[in-house]
Chain A
Amino acid sequence: MDETVAEYIRRTVLKMPRDEIKTMLQKWGFLSEAQLQTLNFHQIKDNISQEVVQLCEENSADIKQAAVLDIIYNHIYQNKRMWSVYQMKKSAEELEYFDITDFKKKFKGRLRSALKNVTITFREYEDNAIWIRVAWGTPYKKPNQYKPSYVVYHSQTPYVFISASVLKSNLPLLCQALIVASNYHDIREMELRSHSLNSLKDIVFKRYSQNFQTDYSKPLQGENVEPENADLRIVQENRSEKERIHRLNREVFGDGPQPKLEFAQYRLETMFKSDPKMDVLDKKEPFRCLVKFSSPHLLESLKSLAPAGMADAPLSPLLTCIPQKARNYFKIREKKGFNPESFVSP
């Protein structure tokens, strides 16, 4: 077995938490159940990984199998990576039957014709997701297995989720291969990024609970604003205001859990408006400013702002439009009578 393959497998096993090594090796299926039984999972990971490499040696593992193990790890720990969303466009509305073998062949063919040194691995999952791992090399160097790109494609949709490696120069080639293989004619990057792959899917596939404009003019019967203290000696003076905030919040955010995003970024290219007498940049040139909201769970924290009394309800549409517009990067330009619809993607 190749030295580099052995080292790669060893490092991949070291990444895994000790309690999960056995399950992941089983999912991998490259080592037999009998071989797995011989492994001692109660020793330090260093030793476990050495033993795994030895077993792989017996089975003559090559880079292809090692790559599959890497996909398995990254599928389970997908939230460690940053994912971007891309949308593909068809030129005409033909309903073509998706053939996975054809897709793989075309994808591999396109990449290999441009770059000989690539490792391409596919793995399909039950939710119709096709995971693709690509390790990139150059015409003179073997692929760097430690910086691969991952692509998740749901064949029934025009969306592709890409976790690019640091080597951004390969991105155009990757995009090209995707549209050729899937019979689309164009691909564009959406302004939507997050660590939570499932939340990105929820947003673009519209799987989160959306707000519906219902007639809430009559207060709902028996609606509890919050689990208030049942102490009757405390009188809430602003109960109707609290109910209004709660209702507005429900209308905007819906009832279910929000998709998990870590930040929203607004790039301002608007004019600085100040008292003309102060002579500070007043309307002379755009005031470049970047506003970034970060949170472990941005949308949930926005949802709790008004009920917590930290912001007025309703919240600015700039914040609440994030799931509907499927973007968390915005560019705000000067427009007469500022209109949130005037966003332009770069």
Chain B
Amino acid sequence: MSVRTLPLLFLNLGGEMLYILDQRLRAQNIPGDKARKVLNDIISTMFNRKFMEELFKPQELYSKKALRTVYNRLAHASIMRLNQASMDKVSTFLKDKVQNSNGRFVLPVSGPLPWGTEVPGLIRMFNNKGEEVKKIEFKHGGNYVTAPKEGSFELYGDRVLKLGTNMYSVNQPVETHMSRGSKNLASRTQENIAPNPLAKEELNLLARLMGGMEIKKPSGPEPGFRLNLFTTDEEEEQAALTRPEELSYEVINIQATQDEQRNEELARIMGEFEILDQPKQSASKGDDLLAMMDEL
């Protein structure tokens, strides 16, 4: 509905992704300089000027599929490589952070209120002159407290809220709920593979957006390395095994669009893609980016 939502969504999910990658890099004892380079490459790609300009243009939200493509591209903007299946899992995990056993998010009925909201439970009545004539309290059922102060909107400042902070700090164990994750993924897959009649339009936007991403070629003899998104290799393999059938697509040759400039950009981007452990079966020519997304 809103044509200004995409930057919020992209930057928030991108930020979450960075927190997770940071935690995983530490957990796997990746050498400091390599870890810093990975994060630096991703952050500089995310905040690349051309990319930001494209992102902030008023436009409709992308579908989940399209957005996942962008993140996948982003995650591979460095020397690091992620197992495809585990990246799917983690995207589910990102959404399913605080859940109870039936899958609903926990919505506490206590805690601080948003700035500008008063503690529920009070009824004030006024006369014609605006003077308060009566005050009644009622039981509202929660246990709330007013916000201590308004969060700062300056570039640096006390935000007051914990929203946007790192939930994956080193001291906390990162849980990977495998069974729940796979169940959710299966149900979400149904949505994801439903044909989107506006796919073509969306993909044109996506092409422009990805054209705005600067790619850093891995320099010199520095080898890429693999990052586990789960604590053990066994879990990584399990993730690959429990990946729903529907998500294992064939690799299809891609025909770039007519536009000259886009051709070059896309060809360059295509060259950067490195898919691990995927069975390569060539099929007839695909349409455009749709095919490329399908293979993720």
Partners in one complex: no
